[in-house]
Structure formats: C-alpha cells, structure tokens
Amino acid sequence: KYFLQLEFGEEVWLRILEKADCKHIVFNTRQIYPDVLMTNLAMALAEYTGDSMDNIMQFFGKCFVRFFSNLGYDCTIKATGRYFCDFLQSVDNIHMQMRFTYPKMKSPSMYTTHVDPQGVVLVYRSTRQGFTHYLMGQLFQIAEDLYNTELDIKVLESSNSIPGSRSVMIKFRINFDNQQYIAKNNRMNTPLGRELPPISCTFFLRLFPFGVIMNKVMRILGVGDKLLQAWGGTTSILNMHVSEIFKLRRPKGVPFTWGNIMYLHSVIFELELIRANNYFMINSDNVPSTSSALDRRGSQGSRSILLKGQMRYIEDIKAIIFLCSPLINSLDELLNMGLYLNDLNPHGMSKELVLAGWQHCGRLEMMFERAEQRSTELENSYVLLDQWKNKSDELLYSMIPQTVADRLRAGASSLSTCESFESITVLFCELCDFDYSTIEGAMDIVLSMNAVFSCFDTLMDQFNVYKVETVGSVYMAASGAPDRPGKVHISSSTKALLPKGRYRTESRGVVKIKGKGNMETYWLESTANNEMKEKTSNDEDVKIKGLLVTSI
C-alpha cells in the first residue's frame, strides 16, 4: 500500500481499491488475506495505467522486498552467503526459520538444479498460482539491492498440475555473473594438505546415532543405534525403502527421491520417523508389536520423532547420509517421544539446548506473569484516564463553547479563536412572579426552574443553539454563534474529492472528531452562496446548487 501510494498517489490507490472490490483499507502484517486479493489489485492497476499484468506483478514483488528490508529481514538474506547463488540455495532454509515467526505462512519451495559461471537453473514449486512474475520481481530487487547484481530471467518450463505434489512448478533460467561463486567452490574442493585415511560407516554412525545411510534406489544401508532403538522394530531395518520408515516433512511439496535430494544438498531436511508399531499395524493385519520401545512409552503413547539435518553425498560409497538430530523443544516433549538425554548426539548442543530451554521456561513464566500484571494495571489506568478526561471535557464545555475549546486544545492561540458575526440572535429568558415566602414555595420554584431549563437544554441541542449561561432565574442563549449556520462540515479527504471550481471551503483548523481524534476539517460552501438569497423555514430543508442545508 505505502509503495503504491508513493509511486502513483493516494487517488490512484483509492480507485484501484474500488475497482478491485477490496474491502480492506488497512493491511496488517500477521493477518492472512486471500491470494486473489493481490492479483485483483494488480489487474485493477494494470487497467488504470495501461501497463501489462506481468509488469505490475513484478512491481509488487519489488515492493515486497523493499517492505521487508525496512523491517530488517534483509540482514537475514545477506547472512546466507557472499554471493547471490548462496542465497538461491538457502531460500528454503530461510522459509523454514520464518515459520517460527509466521506459523501460518505457506512458503514455496525453491532449489537449483544446475549451476554454471553464467547463472543457474531454479525450480519453483508453490500452491499459489499467478505469482510467477511476482517472484521474478523479488529476485530482481534482491539481486540489485543486496548483491549489486543484474539478472536476466527466462521461464524454461511451466506446469500447473503436478500429480501428488504442489499445483505449480516453474523452471527458470537466471543469467548473471556467477564466476566468483564457481571459483570459491573450486578452491574449497582443492585439498589443503595430505588426505586422511577413510573411516568406516559404522564409526560414523556412532558419532551420529540418529543418522541414516541410503543408496541410489532409496534403500537403507545403515542407521544409528539410537534411531534403531527409537524405531522399535523386531525385524531388520536394512534394505528397507526409506518411505517405509520415514515421512518427508520438509521441504514441502517435493517428492522424496534421489534426484531431489542431490538438488537440495544445501537445504535442511525434516523427516518424521514412522514407529514400528504403526508400521506393523498397517502392514501386518493389525498385529500388535512386542518391541522394547513400547516399554519406554508413557500412558499417553509416544509422540512422533522429527529428525532435522542435512543430506550429504559420500562419493566413496556412492550413498547419501542424513546427518540429523531429534527436534526437541522441552524435557516433557523428550519423554513423550520415548527418548532420554543420553540418547542424543554426544557432540553438538542438543543436550545443552534442551536443558537450557527447561531452565528458561521458569523465567519466561515469571516474566509472563509480570507482563500480565502490568497489562492489567495499564488497562485500569486507561479506564481511569478516560473517566477523568470525560469529566474534564464536561467541565470545560460548560464554561466555553466546544468548538473554541477544541481549537485551543489543538494549539491555536486564544486570539485566533475570536470571531465576528454579522447577525446573531441572543435570548434572555427570565422566570417571573415567584413566591419565596415559604420553604415549600422555594422548593417548588427550584423544581419548576429545573424542569423549564432542562427543556430549554434539549431544544438548544436539537437546533444547534449555544447555551451561554444561567444566572438565577435568567436563561441566556445565542443562535448563529459560535457555529455559523448554513455550512457543511467535511474532512480533508472529502475536500480532495470535490470537483474543482464548483465549491469553496473555509478551514476550521485542527478539530477533535469523536472516534477519529484530531483532524483538519473544513466548512463547505457553494460558490453561488453569496449570490443567491437563502430561503429559510422552521421545518424544511433548502437545496442550493446541489448542496443540502438544514435551516434552523
């Protein structure tokens, strides 16, 4: 919204909102909106400007990059690597981390299938259709702002129906200067000294007790002992297909195949372990399992174990090893999974993170209680503030006219609130011939005056007459001041929509409007008001040049 207003102006923004039948005027960061909203806005803007829909969607993509850069997320992109190709290979990892901040975000999947000195081939998968050029706009802006790189993007292949996967698949060829990235990889592949002797896979799996080794046909060649214990099967897990033991959770929408794993070598994977009892219930006519893992389950049963790590290809054995650790958030979750601290990797920070999370949990609870207490105190303070503000308003408005008081509150000088009026009506009304001789008579007088003056107050509000004061039995009121009759009160946004040359307006300055706060407002008058004689009546409305004015 902000960048569109900056580029085309407020008037264009209001028009495309109306044309796109958009009911949202203010957009919140964490609120979910339908996907068609952006395409409808782009279509409305394309019709208004005469530009193509593809160019408008690219413009929207560039605006989104500028938007999240203002929020500081450009630092996350810069931290992925020195080169633009590093960012392209880390997009899925960024989306995976963003799910903690935006849990309802439906992120796409992107990975590179070919890298050369002249660019890359990027595959984009998503459940959202019509966002191809929106993504291209994002890539253009990120490359220009963060990597000082110029791109040339071409669509090589497009498919909107992929069986068993996401509904959209786009293959891009992105041309840019990628020579420095290739040179960096070549330097990394050069041995720094004498090569060390190889180690056995058995020893390697001891270091990663939840690791998995799989061959090209996705058959399991070896697993860590802790993973085998957590699986709980009585039969051999070797040579079983990976899909029988694991379910791919992330990256989403990507088939769990050898080719995709090789393409996504830099992406963090999440696999869900299928427990042996679930496997046998599906494949063995519901025969219950007698595995030792059942002994470690609580009364609620074991939770699913999520394994998070990276897939690495080992050339010596022509296989892929999944270097992973269980994804655990707390001690309670650890026990519900049927695991213990000594089951976790002996290296790394897995144990320390679980214990640190447990220690910080108590602190967070105390902080949350304090925050709740302060929030309650703040709410009570706001209630008291509103009550005292209403009392002060009533007292102030009883002393001076409300319009004058609002202008003084807005910072206007006392002299600027003084006005002269050519014609006003002043009323003095006195209640006469009262008998003050007895107490009963005095009380009757007070009751009578209260009834009459209350009726007067109602009439004053009804006909916009200002009550000046009451002194004893005298009631004083003024009509035609301080609010001038025959005018319409409008806001600055309404003033901007009026036809030029047809009306003239008079500024009222900054006025406090109920439900809106301080706003600059105007009196609206027809240009013919000074030339036409105003017709008045007690109960009729007068129409002057299309302007409806209520007479008093």
C-alpha angle 526-531-533 in degrees, rounded to nearest 5? 95
Query: Residue 342's pLDDT band (boundaries 50, 70, 90)?
Result: low
Q: What is the pLDDT of residue 304?
A: 75
The residues near 132 (Cβ < 8 Å, ≥ 6 apart) are: 57, 124, 155, 158, 170
**Is it true that the peptide bond before 326 is cis, omega within 30 degrees of 0?**
no
Rounded mean pLDDT, 189-198: 66
The residues near 85 (Cβ < 8 Å, ≥ 6 apart) are: 112, 115, 120, 178, 181
Whether the per-residue pLDDT at 209 is higher than 60: the answer is: yes
Out of 14-28, 76-90, 224-238, 279-293, pick the least confident: 279-293
Rounded mean pLDDT, 166-172: 80
Whether the per-residue pLDDT at 439 is higher than 90: the answer is: no
Q: What is the pLDDT of residue 40?
A: 86
Q: Which range, 275-284, 393-402, 422-431, is most confident? A: 422-431
In angstroms, rounded to a whole number, what is the distance separating the alpha carbons of residues 239 and 214?
A: 9
Q: What is the pLDDT of residue 71?
A: 81
Residue with tokens 């994002």: 138
Nearest-10 crossing angle of helices 402-409, 350-399: 140
Query: Residue 174's pLDDT band (boundaries 50, 70, 90)?
Result: very high
Whether the per-residue pLDDT at 329 is higher than 80: the answer is: no
Structure tokens that stand for 414 in this block: 């006392």
The residue type found at 156 is L
Rounded mean pLDDT, 181-185: 86
Q: What is the pLDDT of residue 541?
A: 42
Whether the per-residue pLDDT at 294 is higher than 90: the answer is: no
Q: What is the pLDDT of residue 289?
A: 34
Higher model confidence: residue 191 or residue 252? Answer: 252
User: Whole-model pTM?
Assistant: 0.51
C-alpha angle 52-57-60 in degrees, rounded to nearest 5? 130
61, 142 Cβ separation under 8 angstroms: no
CATH pick for 52-188 out of 1.20.59.10, 3.90.1520.10, 3.40.50.1980, 3.40.190.10: 3.90.1520.10
- For 316, counting Cβ atoms within 10 Å of its Cβ (0-12 exposed, 13-18 middle, 19+ buried), the class is exposed
In angstroms, rounded to a whole number, what is the distance separating the alpha carbons of residues 449 and 205?
A: 98
Whether the per-residue pLDDT at 537 is higher than 70: the answer is: no
Q: What DSSP string runs through 376-412?
A: HHHHHHHHHHHHHHHHHHHHHHHHS-HHHHHHHHTT-
In angstroms, rounded to a whole number, what is the distance separating the alpha carbons of residues 401 and 483?
A: 9
Structure tokens that stand for 288 in this block: 């219950």
Structural domain spans, the chain: 52-188, 201-348, 349-396, 425-479
541 φ/ψ angles, rounded to the nearest 5 degrees: -100, 145
Q: What is the pLDDT of residue 192?
A: 57
Q: What is the pLDDT of residue 296?
A: 34
Q: Could you read off the pLDDT of 103-119 as tens digits, one per residue?
A: 777 778 888 888 899 99
Q: Which range, 126-140, 189-203, 300-314, is most confident? A: 126-140
The domain at 201-348 falls in which architecture? 2-Layer Sandwich (3.30)
Q: Give 30-93 as a 3 state SS string.
A: CCCCCCHHHHHHHHHHHHHHCCCHHHHHHHHHHHHHHHHHHCCCHHHHHCCCCCHHHHHCCHHH
Whether the per-residue pLDDT at 84 is higher than 50: the answer is: yes
Residue with tokens 């630092």: 75
Query: Residue 152's pLDDT band (boundaries 50, 70, 90)?
Result: very high
Instruction: Residue count of the chain, please give it.
Output: 552
Rounded mean pLDDT, 2-8: 76
Whether the per-residue pLDDT at 430 is higher than 50: the answer is: yes
Average pLDDT of the chain to the nearest whole number: 76
Strand partners, 491: 521
Number of neighbours of residue 527 by Cβ within 10 angstroms? 11
Number of neighbours of residue 95 by Cβ within 10 angstroms? 20
Nearest-10 crossing angle of helices 10-19, 36-49: 120
Whether the per-residue pLDDT at 4 is higher than 80: the answer is: no
Rounded mean pLDDT, 132-145: 91
Q: Which range, 169-178, 248-257, 353-362, is most confident? A: 169-178
Q: What is the pLDDT of residue 175?
A: 93
Out of 73-77, 219-223, 250-254, 338-342, pick the least confident: 338-342
In angstroms, rounded to a whole number, what is the distance separating the alpha carbons of residues 532 and 534?
A: 6
Whether the per-residue pLDDT at 539 is higher than 60: the answer is: no
